[in-house]
A and B are shown apart, each in its own frame.
Chain A
Amino acid sequence: MKVLLFGIAKDIVGSSQLQFSEVVPKTVLELKQLISKTYPKFGELSSLAVAVNSEYAKDDVPLNRNDEIAIIPPVSGG
Chain B
Amino acid sequence: MKKNRYIRQTTLKGFGVEGQQKLAAAKVLVVGAGGLGVPVLSYLNAMGVGKIGVMDNDTVSIANLHRQVLYGQGDVGESKVIAALEKLKEQNNDSNIVVYNTFLEPKNALAIIADYDLVVDTSDNFPTRYLVNDACVILNKPFVYGALHGYEGQVSVFNYKGGPTYRCLFPNMPKEHEVPNCNEHGVLGIIPGIIGNLQALEAIKVIAGIGEVLSGRLLLFNGLDQSYQKINFKQQPENLEIVALQEYYEWHDPCAVIQTVTADKIQSLMTENAQIIDVRTAEEFENYHLSNAIHIPLDSLENSSGKINFSIPVYILCQSGKRSEIAVKQLREKHPESTLFSILGGLNQYLATCS
- Residue of A8, A11, A76 with most partner-chain B CB within 10 A: A76
Give Cα A46–Cα B180 distance, bound, in whole angstroms. Answer: 14
Nearest residue (CB) in A for B127 is A76
Interface residues of B in 19-53 (CB under 8 A from A): 32, 34-37
B174 touches A56 (CB 8 A): no
Give Cα A74–Cα B233 distance, bound, in whole angstroms. Answer: 14
Q: How many pairs of A and B residues are in contact by the CB < 8 Å rule?
A: 103
B149 on the interface (CB 8 Å rule)?
Answer: yes
Residues of A close to B220: CB separation below 8 A: 6, 70, 72
Give Cα A50–Cα B254 distance, bound, in whole angstroms. Answer: 32
Give Cα A2–Cα B65 distance, bound, in whole angstroms. Answer: 39
Interface residues of A in 1-55 (CB under 8 A from B): 4, 6-8, 10-11, 16, 44-47, 49, 51, 54-55
Give Cα A54–Cα B182 distance, bound, in whole angstroms. Answer: 27
B154 on the interface (CB 8 Å rule)?
Answer: yes
CB distance from B195 to the nearest CB of A (A): 8
Count of B interface residues, CB-CB < 8 Å: 43
B233 touches A49 (CB 8 A): yes
Residues of A close to B160: CB separation below 8 A: none
Given contacts A54-B231, A72-B231, A78-B146, contact A7 B34 (CB under 8 A): no
B218 on the interface (CB 8 Å rule)?
Answer: yes
CB distance from B98 to the nearest CB of A (A): 20
B174 touches A47 (CB 8 A): yes
Give Cα A6–Cα B174 distance, bound, in whole angstroms. Answer: 15
Partner of B34, one of A8, A16, A72, A78: A78
B229 touches A78 (CB 8 A): no
Interface residues of B in 106-146 (CB under 8 A from A): 122-126, 129, 146
Give Cα A15–Cα B35 distance, bound, in whole angstroms. Answer: 26
Give Cα A49–Cα B36 distance, bound, in whole angstroms. Answer: 23
B87 on the interface (CB 8 Å rule)?
Answer: no
Nearest residue (CB) in A for B185 is A77
CB distance from B81 to the nearest CB of A (A): 15
Give Cα A55–Cα B185 distance, bound, in whole angstroms. Answer: 29
Give Cα A45–Cα B307 distance, bound, in whole angstroms. Answer: 45
Give Cα A11–Cα B179 distance, bound, in whole angstroms. Answer: 10
CB distance from A49 to the nearest CB of B (A): 5
Partner of A76, one of B147, B218, B222, B234: B147
A56 touches B170 (CB 8 A): no
The contact sample of 25 A-B pairs, CB cut-off 8 A, is: A4-B229, A7-B152, A8-B178, A46-B174, A47-B172, A47-B174, A49-B233, A51-B233, A54-B230, A56-B233, A72-B154, A72-B169, A73-B174, A74-B174, A74-B179, A75-B149, A75-B179, A76-B126, A76-B129, A77-B124, A77-B192, A78-B32, A78-B34, A78-B123, A78-B124
**A interface list, Cβ under 8 A from B:** 4, 6-8, 10-11, 16, 44-47, 49, 51, 54-56, 70, 72-78
**B interface list, Cβ under 8 A from A:** 32, 34-37, 122-126, 129, 146-150, 152-154, 169-175, 178-182, 185, 187, 192, 218, 220, 222, 229-234
